[in-house]
Structure 1
Amino acid sequence: MKSWLLSLTFLLVSPAFAQTPTSVTLALNWKAEPEFGGFYAAALQGIYKKHGLDVKILEGGSGTPTVQMLANGKVEFAIVSADEIILSQDRNSKNKVKGLFAVYQTSPYIVMSHAEKNYKNLKDVFMSEGILSMQSGLPYYQYLVQKFGKPKVKVVPYAGGVSNFLNDKNFSQQGFITTEPLSAEKAGAKVKTFLIAEEGFNPYLVVIGATEETLSKKPDLVKKFVAASREGWIAYLKDPKDTNKHMATLNKAFDLETFNKAADVQKPLIETKETLGSMSSTRWSTLVQQLKELKLIKTSPKAEDLYMNY
């Protein structure tokens, strides 16, 4: 009897009889960079596997339609922004996408100018005689126009990169706090950045999104994925170096030094006194109202329909 019990115990704990991890895909809306560091850390350090998940991280690029990928059932989870969730629900009320975990509590969108210009705030940039490279269709651009009035600065389409910025002291441009400013500084420019969030438009960014169908049919999977992702972010914020080394092999646009600087720069925008990744109804309701005032949405989705905290 004892021998039989020992054999049964061995079979139950044997790797061959262990439960097979659930395969899921996380679609990113950009390439491997520190803004996604916690997800890569969760994969590299075996955190996802510890939670019974085999996660494939799918890199994105400019214009990657992550909301549509979710709605079409191509992936279980994807990175979206709070304003994208609201816009998608306004346009398509079927199989809504919801936010589950927000990496950036303060939006990392910035406008950067040359420090030599001595602009005091973002309004100074808007009312200057220089050039501002920015996508005029972006919600935050329309918000700034609503707040400051018609800009005096010459607004030109955003072309990406920092070459124009480096060649013209009167040139300002949109950017991501972990990307363009660091690239410009590495090239020798003295940069001053202005967070758009400080002007009152502050959507959650790098948000894990999933559809209502996934939430209702696979609630345990969702809980495991969010819990593991949070654990990965805690690990990455504590020590990002090994994960940065891995991401640097995937994204050759930045060297390891830039990866490490970006991880430091973004940290204050991610960590708060609240639970990592958590969101509030007030923030969501404010954003809905702002988008409604900008006439970017026709309906007013309720905050509780837009997100869930885990």
Structure 2
Amino acid sequence: MEIVKWKQKGVLASMLVMSLMLTACSGESASDTESDIADTESKTEDVKLVLNWFPKSQHGGVYSAVEENTFEENGLNVDVEPGGPQVSPVQIVAAGDAQFGLAHADQLLIARNQGIELVALAATMQGSPQAFMFHEGEDIQDFEDLNGREVFVQPGITYWDFLKNQYDLSDAAELGYNGQHVNFIDNKKSVTQAFVTSEPFFMEQENVPVETLLVSESGYDPYNVVLFVTKDYLESNKETVEQFVDSYVKGWGSYEETADTINEVIIAENPNIELEALNFETETQHDYVYGKDAAEHGIGYMTEERWDTLKNQLLDIGLLEEDFETSDIFTTEFLPEQE
């Protein structure tokens, strides 16, 4: 009996030892898991992107990358700040209040002229959808035909300065553009600035037939919705920039196929825009994002020749005071290789 009792004690002792070992191992496993989670969280970097306008289809790739966790997979937690008429992405990024921004190429060049060193990383749109809109049937074939008409245009907008320098528009009556189209609709002879990706849709809703003349037909065709950072941030955070650009381009690649879903997300962020208008913009901007040079070289592609042309145009009209190396203003180093 004593032997049997001893065996039972031995079994109990063995079980106790094994239990303690399992508990210890379990504790180590839980600790390791918590440590791994902590390591993952610590590797997720917080950055901010400020948009050039309220959320629209021109930001579809951004919201695609957020919604599909593409930024997160690249170790980034991205806070998207909407733009607007009183928001300057250039100033916000220059002040360090956001790491990444979106602006048009001419805005980045003018900022450089003001001593703000910014670097373009990717061109969302390969050209400019900016245009002048006029009533259908009006005899407007070229920019000289704006003479003798009221032209609603934002004061100081760069392409208007270029056109006035390039063409004799001394007889055009320049009126301030405020985003409303009532006066344009009432005056059949008038012309207004517009984006071919949006205003024609609203005119169709008002049963006002219109035509457009693209600003790019004048030769002034800056990259639009350009992703940028400061030169200092780029030099100190190349890995973060590479991860952001990779996510950004992938987001735009995905948006081409998932726009219907992502547009619902954009509507939630900007309830002031109708889904039909958003879908119109998505359709009409397609060639600007995925066509032209992007069709051959990939989303975001930029060339020194295009930047050179734009820089020289701004020098010619006095919006740039000094020349500088074009290669300083942009880089394609972080764009994914075209497959």
Q: Same fold (TM over 0.5)?
A: yes
Change (3 A) 1:97 1:22: same
- Which residue matches 2:209? 190
Give the SS at the match of 1:222: helix
- Which residue matches 2:5? none
Report the number of matched residues.
306
- Which residue matches 1:176? 195
The worse-fitting range, judged by mean Cα deviation, of 228-237 and 181-190 is: 181-190
Distance 1:293 1:183 in 2: 36
- Which residue matches 1:74? 97
Give the SS at the match of 1:240: helix
Distance 2:32 2:210 in 1: 62
- Which residue matches 2:62? 39
- Which residue matches 1:120? 141
Runs (4+) of structure 1 moved beyond 3 Å? 3-10, 12-17
User: What pairs with 1:1-310 in structure 2 (closer than 5 Å)?
Assistant: 7=29, 11=33, 15-20=37-42, 21-92=44-115, 96-124=117-145, 126-127=146-147, 129-271=148-290, 272=294, 273-309=296-332, 310=334
Change (3 A) 1:26 1:218: same
Distance 2:228 2:309 in 1: 19
Q: CA deviation at 1:135?
A: 2.4
Q: CA deviation at 1:130?
A: 2.5
Post-superposition CA distance 1:162-217 (Å, at most 9, x none): 22222221121012222222211221111111111121001111111101111111
Distance 1:161 1:146 in 2: 27
Distance 1:187 1:274 in 2: 39
Distance 1:163 1:234 in 2: 38
Structure 2 counterpart of 1:208, one-letter code: L
Structure 2 counterpart of 1:107, one-letter code: S
Distance 1:43 1:197 in 2: 32
The worse-fitting range, judged by mean Cα deviation, of 14-23 and 129-138 is: 14-23
Normalization by structure 1: what TM-score?
0.92
Distance 1:113 1:276 in 2: 32
Change (3 A) 1:218 1:111: same
Structure 1 counterpart of 2:144, one-letter code: K
Give the SS at the match of 2:137: helix
Q: Is the 8 A contact 2:198 2:280 kept in 1?
A: no
Q: Is the 8 A contact 1:161 1:180 kept in 2?
A: no
Unaligned stretches of 5+ in structure 2?
1-20, 335-339
Structure 2 counterpart of 1:292, one-letter code: L
Give the SS at the match of 1:232: helix
Distance 2:61 2:185 in 1: 32
Q: Is the 8 A contact 1:26 1:57 kept in 2?
A: yes
Structure 2 counterpart of 1:294, one-letter code: I
Give the SS at the match of 1:202: coil
Change (3 A) 1:67 1:238: same
Post-superposition CA distance 1:32-60 (Å, at most 9, x none): 11111110111111111111111010001
Give the SS at the match of 1:277: coil
Q: Is the 8 A contact 2:46 2:77 kept in 1?
A: yes
Q: Is the 8 A contact 1:136 1:142 kept in 2?
A: no
Distance 1:164 1:252 in 2: 26
